[in-house]
Structure 1
């Protein structure tokens, strides 16, 4: 027991939480800054990985994007995810991480894989992967495939830069080039492009925080 300890910083693993309660039950447990930043980085990385196709389709130009412009693009990509969706993704990862730590702990304590499988209610393949992984295996969201609109994106961008911001007109033009889909996809594309170029609202300002200073 450690009665003099007032605060314990840790990650969100259940095993560490239990150890802290047993060793210093009077101490306040808090998530340390390093793990909070790491969790944020991993969530953003998975979201951007899932947005790979859209990132590829973003227009390029001869000039470099400023920090503000890059931030606007990132905000735009994250708009597709509500706070509840982000929280669900984060909580799901935390449950998987806690399970990973438990599997590691039980294996090191001498449990067999089949016993661990029953204890944590996971199939043996997943348990075996957790046991022999050097670190927690992140689940990567696979990039989405091409859509019907993909072959016409460069033309749409050209017309957009020329000042054509009429979804119906753009749809008619790409239909003449062979597009056979409805007007919903070009309408959504135009809406996203207009959103990208819109001024950043005050409540969307993101503070530039450099992890290199940590």
Structure 2
């Protein structure tokens, strides 16, 4: 544990363990330990890490069989990874993320190895697809999740929907007189129900309203994009539109889930 922490951190831990030792002594002991002979690797993991997100990255190689790091490289262009893999022909399986540079490096450096996407990115991709699917069929899910009415509720609903006509409400119009000939009788207008919005459409409408409101308050396109965490192109398109675009208010489109 002291060797893993290094100089001053190891010295502080040693003091807590009642074994006072200086950081320089720990470093000397670490350098005096003979280096382990490099063993063969069968299962290797490759991933990147950020020293400064969006600017400076590095690459780490991990021995998945022993659960320990193998090497670190600057950048994530894949060239050092390909060179390292060529010197270790015994690798059988490589787990990596979906970065194209790593895929090319594994193909060039270890063509005999099987490339496997790591679990983190697989779970993330599944989550995104399921979330997108739920947004597309949000209204159908709401209908399916509604609790069915009970027998008492159905009977009350039928009673309320049946009109009760008293003797005072019976019309006194002679049978020979029809409403068609009465000029004072207006035809009953059919009401059209507004289209039902899905979760995705409602969220898009709310975002559209927020963009228009912030734009009226004088904020710039870049400020709105940062505040709402959307692209500047989307903010510009919403700002120029009079209504929320990309709506599908017509009949629902056929999908592969309809038969289920």
TM-score (norm 2): 0.23
- Asked which structure has the greater CA Rg, the reply is 2
Quick check: which one's helix share is greater? 1
Quick check: which one's strand share is greater? 2
TM-score (norm 1): 0.27
- Determine which structure has greater relative contact order: mean sequence separation of CA pairs < 8 Å that are 6+ residues apart, divided by chain length: 1
